[in-house]
Amino acid sequence: MKKEINGQMLEIPEHVAFILDGNGRWAKKRFLPRNAGHVEGAKTVEQVLSDAHDLGIKYVTMYAFSTENWKRSQEEVGALMKLLKNYLMDCIERSAKNNMRVRVIGDISALDQELQDRILELEEKSSANTGLHFAIALNYGGRDELRRAVVKIAKECKNGTLNPEEITEDCISTHLDTAGFPDPDLMIRTSGEVRLSNFLPWQLAYTEFYFTEVLWPDFDKEELINAILYYNGKERRFGGVLS
């Protein structure tokens, strides 16, 4: 989809994935506890979702909590879990108001029952919404996602519902947490780090990457437009064919 932004006709990526990085550094720069950065980062999530919708983006995936994040201090993990519970509860009302469909990707079985219940309630209540599709990667790790997909496929082969010859790339995609979502066109990582950190390794195979020094709590619509401008400046090639 093309849209005029700041006097330019730009191709709008259908699906944008975000690695939200820099909350702790944002807080440290202001001599605040790390959790203050996470709280401010949660506010940025809401603003970016609104901006993405206004710009015509249809799918957004955000890396909220990775399988590796459990290694952080108990105090920080506890604060993050509390923040996530509150966010998911508020998200039920916001998703209804904004016609936003929400799903959570990752292994939620490792989360406490209250958080699991809130996730299932949010997904159920937003399932009929037709606006922006928002995926929250929670207790997510790309290798773990692929492992779980392989286990599902192996079980189907074992019980005879799937033949090994039918295991195509499309088949694998349908067994991933992101089944039903198009692969991201653009991945944005904030705070200057230049790595994927185990985020969507299968889905990002042909994605354009935009790395910015901006810390996540400071990320705004202007920087999102900068990322879209970068995306428009790239030649999209798939299998050697210019698209």
Catalytic option among 51, 69, 144, 183: 69
Q: How many separate helices (H) and strands (E) can be counted in the chain? A: 7, 10
Tell me how crowded residue 190 is: count the other CB atoms within 10 A of its CB.
25
The alpha carbon dihedral of 155, 161, 162, 163 has a sign of: positive
Q: Please compute Rg for the chain using Cα positions.
A: 18
- Active-site residue flag, 21: yes
- Active-site residue flag, 159: no
Beta bridge partners, 102, equal: 134
| Cα-based distances in Å from 203 to 18, 83, 115, 240 | 13, 28, 26, 19
Cα–Cα distance, 44 to 188 (Å, whole number): 14
- Could you list the active site residues? 21, 69
